[in-house]
Amino acid sequence: MKSRYSIITGIILVCILIAAGCRKKDPHYDFWWSDEPVIGIPVNFYSNANPGDKLLWDFGDGATSTETNPNHTFNDASTYKVSLTVNDYTRFMVQKNVMVGNQYSLNFSGVNVIGDTIRFSTNAAPGTSLLWDFGDGSSSNIANPYHIYGKEGVYIIKLRINGHYDAEGSGTKLTILKDPKYTNLITGIKQWRLTTRKIQSWLNIDTSTFTNDTFSIGYLNKITVSLPDTKTSKAATLGYNPQLSHDNVLVFTDANRILYFDRVMDTLCFQYNYTTQTRGGSGTNTTYYYVFGRTP
């Protein structure tokens, strides 16, 4: 009798185990996204949901989607609680924190002339996959590369992040100039004194009040010089102008000033365009011309 009960009990346990094994388990859903999310760049989302499953994505910023593999653009740097609900079952909801950062950018510095070193940099996080394009057929995959251009021209600088999007500032134009070579001849401790002052039609103007207008020109780099605050003009920074420069004449300009240097004659000609405002609001343009010779 006892053995009969044991047999029946054993059969019941086997049936229970078989039923438990045949019971369908709840699926395990998950989702993930592409690259490192940054503001302004679409983020692609993926999941392991089955074809035909009903999906509801909630991106945590008020936006939703029912697409299988949606992409979403976040407009602010923050941490968003992104969720995926499958087939309207809350027990099938997956939620994750998505950290969205600021878009990476690029910068470069240096004297942009042939043969000089240009330094490139980015604020991309360590470990980010980078691809620099210097616009002359050269490239680099390091974070802060150096590059030297061998020809003058306009180059388009690009930086690709994780093979997915371009950094902020990609497409910036970098103009490489010929080396002026003679900038050092007009700068430094060398002194220049006014010899002639003219106005508009090149009529000579009395220079007696300018006899002590002697000054030096500051050297900032090969293509940039600075003028002091004098009777002739207010302080200013002028850049090398390759379009106006030719042969023995080296030219530096800003919006209102032109500085010519004749290295053969060893003289400076300074042109200053000045606008005088009238009571009616209109302006009268006056151009002054000054010629300087080097002091003994």
Q: Report the CATH number that the domain containing residue 156 is assigned in CATH.
A: 2.60.40.10
Q: Are residues 170 and 225 in the same domain?
A: no
- Check whether 176 has a pLDDT greater than 50: yes
Q: Tell me: the pLDDT tens digits for 244-296?
A: 998 889 999 998 889 999 888 888 888 887 665 555 555 566 677 777 776 65
Residue listed under structure tokens 């229970």 = 16
Q: Are residues 57 and 91 in the same domain?
A: yes
Please report whether residue 256 resides in a domain: yes
Structure tokens at 17: 């185990």
Q: Tell me: the pLDDT tens digits for 119-173?
A: 999 988 888 899 999 999 999 999 999 999 999 999 999 999 888 788 888 899 9
Total domains in the chain come to: 3
d(CA 162, CA 34): 10
| Domain's final residue, options 148, 176, 204 | 176
Structure tokens at 150: 């061998």
| Domain's final residue, options 119, 145, 176 | 176
Question: Would you state the pLDDT for residue 4?
Answer: 53
Please report whether residue 10 resides in a domain: no
d(CA 82, CA 64): 10
The region of weakest confidence among 16-20, 54-58, 108-112 is 16-20
Residue listed under structure tokens 């002697």 = 214
Q: Are residues 195 and 274 in the same domain?
A: yes
Centre a 10 Å sphere on the Cβ of residue 275 and count the other Cβ atoms it contains: 10
Q: Are residues 223 and 167 in the same domain?
A: no
Question: Would you state the pLDDT for residue 23?
Answer: 45
Q: Are residues 202 and 121 in the same domain?
A: no
Q: Which residue has the higher pLDDT, 205 or 223?
A: 223
- Check whether 227 has a pLDDT greater than 70: yes
DSSP 66-83: --SS-EE---S-EEEEEE
**Structural domain boundaries enclosing 87:** 25-100
| Global pTM value | 0.65
Q: Are residues 227 and 289 in the same domain?
A: yes
- Check whether 17 has a pLDDT greater than 50: no
d(CA 252, CA 183): 10
Q: Are residues 119 and 77 in the same domain?
A: no
d(CA 238, CA 223): 8
> b/e for 58-74, b at 16 or more Cβ within 10 A?
bbbbeeebeeeebebeb
Q: Are residues 143 and 198 in the same domain?
A: no
Q: Are residues 67 and 82 in the same domain?
A: yes
d(CA 273, CA 32): 62
The region of weakest confidence among 191-200, 214-223, 227-236 is 191-200
Q: Are residues 70 and 141 in the same domain?
A: no
Please report whether residue 36 resides in a domain: yes
Please report whether residue 136 resides in a domain: yes
Please report whether residue 6 resides in a domain: no
| Domain's final residue, options 56, 79, 100 | 100
Please report whether residue 218 resides in a domain: yes
Q: Tell me: the pLDDT tens digits for 72-113?
A: 999 998 999 999 999 987 778 899 999 998 888 999 999 999
